[in-house]
Copies of this chain bind each other. A is one copy, B any other.
């Protein structure tokens, strides 16, 4: 497979997975959380698929397309390793019906370490039955790995549901 074909497959799997997750959570009450805004593509997709839900975005520094930048009251700027636990501690534990985490920086070891570091806060943020959809494995003892139940080809994305 060429890198062009690989990119198409990766983005298509991401779209299919977000669509699956949006259908799963759309009837529930709670917030949606985007960890890592990046170019804003998946944020744009989530707000389209879940228009009735508030989306909180965590990002170190915004570099997205101007159309895809959240309003300031929905954007938490800074190191996710600090802002996410602070947000949970600030009364938001158990409020997220969906967390989408795409924090890959190109350096796998650094990204995996960040995922491990924020796993406790991410799990605490999830509502019972809420989903974490991520580009890498997280350590979530109170969640079930349901990656195989989405119908999307596995190995590129991980899906967890909080018990």
Contact = CB atoms under 8 A, between A and B. Distances in A.
Give the residue among A4, A15, A39, A41 with the most B Cβ atoms within 10 A: A4
A15 B8 contact: yes
A21 B8 CA distance: 19
B4 A15 contact: yes
Nearest to A8: B11
A67 B6 CA distance: 14
A5 interface: yes
B11 A41 contact: no
Interface stretch (A42-50, A83-91, A113-121): A42-50
Copies in the complex: 2
A111 interface: no
A124 B7 CA distance: 33
A30 interface: no
A14 B4 contact: yes
A137 interface: no
Contacts of A18: 4
Contacts of A39: 3
A108 interface: no
Interface in A40-68: 40-42, 44-45, 48, 65, 67-68
Interface of A: 2-5, 7-8, 11-12, 14-15, 18, 39-42, 44-45, 48, 65, 67-68
11 contacts: A3-B39, A3-B67, A3-B68, A4-B14, A4-B15, A4-B41, A4-B44, A7-B41, A8-B11, A8-B15, A11-B11
